[in-house]
Amino acid sequence: MQMTLEHQQIYDTTKKFVETELNPHVREWEKAGFWPAHEVLKKMGALGLLGISKPESVGGLGLDYSYQVAFAEALGFCTCGGVPMAIGVQTDMATPALARFGSDYLKDNFLKPAVAGEMVAAIAVSEPGAGSDVAGIKTTARKVGEEYIISGSKLWITNGTQADWACTLVNSAEGDRHGNKSLIVVPLDAKGIERNQKLDKLGQRSSDTAMIFLDEVRVPARNLIGVEGKGFSYQMQQFQEERLFLSASIIAAMERVIDDTAAYTRQRQAFGQSILDNQYVHFRLSELKTEVEALRALTYRATSELIAGRDAALLCSMAKLKSGRLGREVTDACLQFWGGQGYMWESSVAQFYRDLRLHSIGGGADEVMLGIISKRLGYGGKRKST
Ligand SMILES: Cc1cc2nc3c(=O)[nH]c(=O)nc-3n(C[C@H](O)[C@H](O)[C@H](O)COP(=O)(O)OP(=O)(O)OC[C@H]3O[C@@H](n4cnc5c(N)ncnc54)[C@H](O)[C@@H]3O)c2cc1C
């Protein structure tokens, strides 16, 4: 992946949007534990930012995924992690399978409005009894006439309290755990849905996260994405975009944390010199900057594989693993150099210490990434994993 002038334009437009439309509100949204998804996404849709790699037929820009990575990277200029994550759900987690396999009916009624920012989307895979083990989900969809009747519960669903629809993974048959699943677009105002419970989180506080109960929810059969029984495989494909988005979207946040730490430690004095003047401190910050640059290179390389149409699961998983681990390393090391000030809730380093911690868990935990990497390298792992 090369950053061309066109990539730079998307990057600059996104960065400007982040700085003018998101950052001034971050404190208020973090306090409220909520971001106004409909309002923000409508503005982003008007700028063409929600369908960069979606086809022009649904209002997208029809560009390859490298442009989406430029967008994700620029979202990293947000002064919190929760809002970029929630935007990524709309652009890279809930909609890739719909764009790839959805019928014209589904694209017209759910994808187009998501690209325009008129509808908010969620991805509903995880459940109380199954997160890492995606194939172990228990939510069922029985086909009765021209409808699916869906029952079960979904946990930790980002945008869950305000989304209009959720790309939902269900068991549509008995039998083989990897061949019995389907992805269904579930309108979240349907009868039988309850989602009142907003969850209280360690970080990413501005994004709303919900538990969603589905009790005999009737959904038209035409809301099935693609072919019945292919849901597991569609979701595994969709995870590649999710994981690249997650990797790219925290690069600038980590750079901000390192730069803020250099600035803070430069003016803070101890033992007759600035904290930054200690070789240990400036060497460590330099090393972390180098690591972030290496993550950027890995993310771009994984993106190149994806846009070349090759199997990118190995490199996407490596990028996701590295980004989760590095997010923890950067924020932990930097917080230390701030001393007591870093431990204060409002400090920028504490914000990202809380927010980036999720990246080793969500979208496939580090250990799940290691499972995929090991399997792809032939080192072990019989499990058909995410
Ligand atoms: C804030 C937040 C937002 C989220 N948003 C969404 C969303 O929008 N949609 C959605 O579907 N899900 C969402 N999730 C769920 C997320 O994807 C899961 O939390 C994640 O996949 C891990 O699943 P789990 O929490 O059930 O952990 P478990 O599966 O219970 O695993 C717990 C831990 O065990 C370890 N582990 C697991 N498997 C292995 C293994 N094979 N070998 C060694 N160790 C292992 C890992 O360290 C893992 O963290 C969100 C979660 C959070 C916290």
Strands 140-144 and 147-158: antiparallel
Instruction: Decide whether any atom of ligand 1 lies within 6 Å of the 88 Cβ.
Output: no
User: Are 247 and 319 contacting, i.e. CB atoms less than 8 angstroms apart?
Assistant: yes
> What's the CATH number for 250-376?
1.20.140.10
CATH match for 5-120 among 3.40.50.150, 1.10.1040.10, 1.10.540.10, 1.10.150.120 = 1.10.540.10
Instruction: Decide whether any atom of ligand 1 lies within 6 Å of the 158 Cβ.
Output: yes
- Per-residue pLDDT of 151-198, as tens digits, reads 999 999 999 999 999 999 999 999 999 999 999 999 999 999 999 778
Residue 139 has pLDDT above 90, yes or no: yes
Is the whole model's pTM more than 0.85, yes or no?
A: yes
Residue 329, Cβ density class (10 Å: 0-12 exposed, 13-18 middle, ≥19 buried): middle
Centre of ligand 1 from the C-alpha of residue 123, in Å: 14
Distances (CA, A) of 317 to 275, 310, 362, 371: 37, 14, 13, 9
Centre of ligand 1 from the C-alpha of residue 167, in Å: 18
Phi-psi map region of 55: left, alpha, beta (phi>0 left; psi -120 to 50 alpha): beta
Centre of ligand 1 from the C-alpha of residue 70, in Å: 26
Residue 304 has pLDDT above 70, yes or no: yes
Instruction: Decide whether any atom of ligand 1 lies within 6 Å of the 126 Cβ.
Output: yes
Instruction: Decide whether any atom of ligand 1 lies within 6 Å of the 17 Cβ.
Output: no
- Per-residue pLDDT of 231-274, as tens digits, reads 999 999 999 999 999 999 999 999 999 999 999 999 999 999 99
Centre of ligand 1 from the C-alpha of residue 364, in Å: 6
pLDDT computed for residue 381 by the predictor: 63
Instruction: Decide whether any atom of ligand 1 lies within 6 Å of the 90 Cβ.
Output: no
Residue 346 annotated in active site: no
Instruction: Decide whether any atom of ligand 1 lies within 6 Å of the 149 Cβ.
Output: no
Instruction: Decide whether any atom of ligand 1 lies within 6 Å of the 124 Cβ.
Output: yes
Altogether, the residues listed in the chain come to a count of 386
Choice from 93, 132, 153, 383 to test ligand 1 binding pocket (greatest atom count within 8 A of CB): 132
- Per-residue pLDDT of 15-70, as tens digits, reads 999 999 999 999 999 999 999 999 999 999 999 999 999 999 999 999 999 999 99
Tell me the average pLDDT across 295-302. 98
Choice from 87, 125, 126, 206 to test ligand 1 binding pocket (greatest atom count within 8 A of CB): 126
> What's the CATH number for 122-227?
2.40.110.10
The residue extents of the domains of the chain are 5-120, 122-227, 250-376
Centre of ligand 1 from the C-alpha of residue 236, in Å: 15
The sign one gets for the Cα dihedral 301, 302, 303, 305 is: positive
Q: Give the Cα separation of 281 and 337 in Å (integer).
A: 8
pLDDT computed for residue 198 by the predictor: 85
Distances (CA, A) of 110 to 94, 102, 198, 211: 11, 10, 24, 22
Q: What is the dihedral of CA 284, 69, 309, 305, to 10 degrees?
A: -10
Q: Which of 30, 242, 255, 305 is catalytic?
A: 242
